[in-house]
Chain A
């Protein structure tokens, strides 16, 4: 009898599930660690490229054009004879500037619209949400493309284009969050003791609704860099002395057959950075999302 009960308990919680669960968690931790290291490295590249890159990004060694990756040139050289590794390191700055500033602009404007819309409600909510919905009918990359083409090539215009394309997402999320917090008991309580409505908004609602925006912004950073690179790839960026990742990718496109390294490494840089940012964003979501934390 005792034995049977024992068997049942073993069946209910099989050993392999336990071990696998443990393994999964450690796996994700390793990924998270690698992602954080990579992101830190790329941020360092953007801040102090001089200390990391072995060559100047504008130095054209006409004696060794299109040379394969070697110990001298880790990522090979491009058709100008520039060191691709150094170009990727230096190119991170513009890519990050595009990513970070466009997320900041996009989330501030989008979040602002969402907060106002959600808290005030009524006609203003109606009007703002219809505008946002119109913007949402246009795919983000297309919107960015149209804006960049209309404004002409410059770094600031690319930032604006990418930011504008992300505004609707932020606005919707912020509005939803405000709507749900607005109805919570502690807000009602604060209101019932006669707190000014503006104070309620600043002291109680805002602090409790910004975390989804943080998660979205982190993941959005990857998307923004991707869209920004896409725009430069399509030739809507600026021709600068130091090209950003998208422009590097585009330059190597005609040389895929004879010099695969020219666009492979900038492409990998984009992929790995966006992947890392997504991993970190996922982790942040797990931490902030009340649903998943309850599940644990």
Chain B
């Protein structure tokens, strides 16, 4: 009897726990519907920015490196933009303005730039900023021993630097480059302290020293990055109001990959700001009286799916077209992003020079035509509804990374269903090791990527034919090659007249879409959820956050 009694209590306990958790969960849900909408009740007060305080800012992924030259991730830029300054700055109107360089002249053949530098700048470690430091930084990027990443492509066609006097430097290019000044404004071409870079060598990645408004303090892998204000700072760029020492004492970048946790930590006050708000939370945040939502469209290359043209049958334009016509991108953007992200149409995002608006609404999903293309290729539907040819099933190997950033894995799930309708079987492979699967082995049929960039010349790194040596190092996404596109991309780099460049890049965009090299999916809006006590988060021309003006009430 005793045993039965005890057991009953155990069951009761279990039941109570189950019921309690169910109630708790439904309680969560009802709170969203009963929350009063109090938007627009907050008053903007003009007060003197408060000095001091610490900003905690949650990042969605872990940066790969804090050495600007050796980084390939946008999330890293968000952190090291506070530590490094650039020679010039790009305004919101895309004009180039002085920063560490006060003025510059361009030679007649457009192959050399002479910069006059600021004379009152010092690095965080006390090293004086001068022409030698600039020369050191740029030579460091092209030195293969540095193993620089995105910075190499940005600095191209850099050849050499000449120190004219202590604060004058002449930079020589191999060919003219219309994107050069704009690229110089990017944080990945930031100026590093020569003494620190020499001292730390490979460890500079974890000990960055620059001239920025904040000094590096510590980096705990997968946990946080801490920077503190630079008391000497008085050389702020034109896109911020506070050009001297920042108001904040400290910024702690916390790495919180789990999106629900990240947004939850802002709402519970554990962090003051968090980046990359999931679409389903944007609505509820807008109704929250204690939170604000900041949003800015990034420019560069949108999130794009690349066909691997090294693989059969994706080397055939008909097969690629079939997929392009079978994928309903509108449905993806609408379902997953609840229309908070806008759909991409071209290899470039709106807002960048040369963006071709005529591509918008051009490609409509057309299952009939997609089926027709696949029929023409000789793929016949088998009993299971999957097409096959010579006994080989038509399988598309869709590779994506983890964690599920911006719901990219879910795009794969939708495309899997959409392509089933035309008889293509999609196998989704989620891997942690993108570097090996995609960049080294190129073992995929479809893989998506995006890039933040300031100039359409960014297309060159993605769509221009690569040499076997370059391929041996990193396999270019998609691997497509076309002499006409190559030629246009080369012209686009050296052409100085913006009007002509626009025409060139329009041709490039059209051909890439017509040849169905890619399927553009969405333009990523950079979103930040922040407590209302945080003022002054600004964004630069590329959509990276700036913290010079930030103050906490």
Query: Which A residues lie at the B interface, using CB under 8 A?
Result: 21, 24-25, 27-28, 31, 58, 60, 62, 65-66, 79-81, 153, 235, 239, 241, 253-261, 263-264, 267-268, 271-272, 275, 278-279, 282, 286, 292, 295
Contacts and interface: CB of A to CB of B under 8 A. Distances in A.
B335 A282 contact: no
Contacts of B417: 58, 60, 241
B394 interface: no
Nearest to A59: B417
Given A239-B428, A275-B18, A254 B7 contact: no
Nearest to A21: B1
Q: Is the interface of B mostly helix, strand, loop or mixed?
A: helix
A60 B430 contact: no
Interface in B335-356: 335-336, 338
14 contacts: A25-B4, A27-B8, A58-B420, A62-B331, A66-B280, A79-B335, A80-B410, A81-B335, A235-B403, A256-B28, A256-B29, A260-B25, A260-B26, A263-B25
A258 B280 contact: yes
Given A62-B335, A239-B413, 10 more contacts: A21-B4, A62-B331, A79-B336, A256-B28, A256-B29, A256-B260, A257-B28, A257-B284, A261-B29, A282-B7
B280 A79 contact: yes
Given A31-B11, A257-B284, A295 B3 contact: yes
A27 B11 CA distance: 11
A41 to B, nearest CB: 17
Interface string B411-443: 011101100100000001010000000000000
Interface in B2-30: 3-5, 7-8, 11, 14-15, 18, 21-22, 25-26, 28-29
A275 B12 CA distance: 11
Contacts, number: 92
Contacts of B5: 24
Residue with the highest number of chain B CB atoms closer than 10 Å, among A66, A254, A263, A282: A254
A268 B335 contact: no
Contact of A271 (B8, B18, B334, B416): B18
A261 to B, nearest CB: 8
Chain A binding surface, main DSSP class: helix
Contact of A257 (B26, B281, B402): B281
Contacts of A235: 402-403, 430
A258 B284 contact: yes
B414 A264 contact: no
B335 A254 contact: no
Nearest to B18: A271
Contacts of A153: 430
Nearest to A35: B11
A295 B6 CA distance: 14
A280 to B, nearest CB: 12
A258 B412 CA distance: 23
Contacts of A258: 32, 280-281, 283-284
B278 interface: yes
Interface in B23-47: 25-26, 28-29, 32
B67 interface: no
Interface of B: 1, 3-5, 7-8, 11, 14-15, 18, 21-22, 25-26, 28-29, 32, 259-260, 278, 280-281, 283-284, 331, 334-336, 338, 402-403, 409-410, 412-414, 416-417, 420, 428, 430
A199 to B, nearest CB: 38
A58 B22 CA distance: 26
Contact of A264 (B8, B25, B413): B25
A257 B32 contact: yes
For the complex of A and B, list the 8 residue pairs with the smallest distance between their C-beta atoms, beginning with the closest.
A260-B29, A254-B260, A239-B428, A258-B280, A264-B25, A62-B335, A62-B331, A271-B18
Contacts of B281: 257-258
B28 A260 contact: yes
A286 B3 CA distance: 10
A235 B259 CA distance: 15
A264 B22 contact: yes
A272 B331 CA distance: 35
A80 B25 contact: no
Contacts of B22: 264, 268
Nearest to B420: A58
A153 to B, nearest CB: 7
A254 B281 CA distance: 9
A25 B416 CA distance: 52
Nearest to A261: B29
A228 B193 CA distance: 51
Nearest to B403: A235
A243 to B, nearest CB: 9
Nearest to A263: B25
A25 B3 CA distance: 11
A60 B26 contact: no
A80 B281 CA distance: 16
A80 B28 contact: no
Contacts of B410: 79-80
B335 A60 contact: yes
Contact of B335 (A65, A259, A295): A65
A292 B4 CA distance: 10
B170 to A, nearest CB: 52
Contacts of B26: 260, 264
B136 to A, nearest CB: 43
A79 B279 CA distance: 11
B14 to A, nearest CB: 6
Contacts of A25: 4
Contact of B29 (A60, A257, A268): A257
A159 B260 CA distance: 29
Contacts of A60: 335, 414, 417
B365 to A, nearest CB: 12
A255 B416 CA distance: 22
B232 to A, nearest CB: 43
A239 B430 contact: yes
Nearest to A243: B413
Contacts of B280: 66, 79, 254-255, 257-259
B260 to A, nearest CB: 5
Contacts of B14: 275, 278
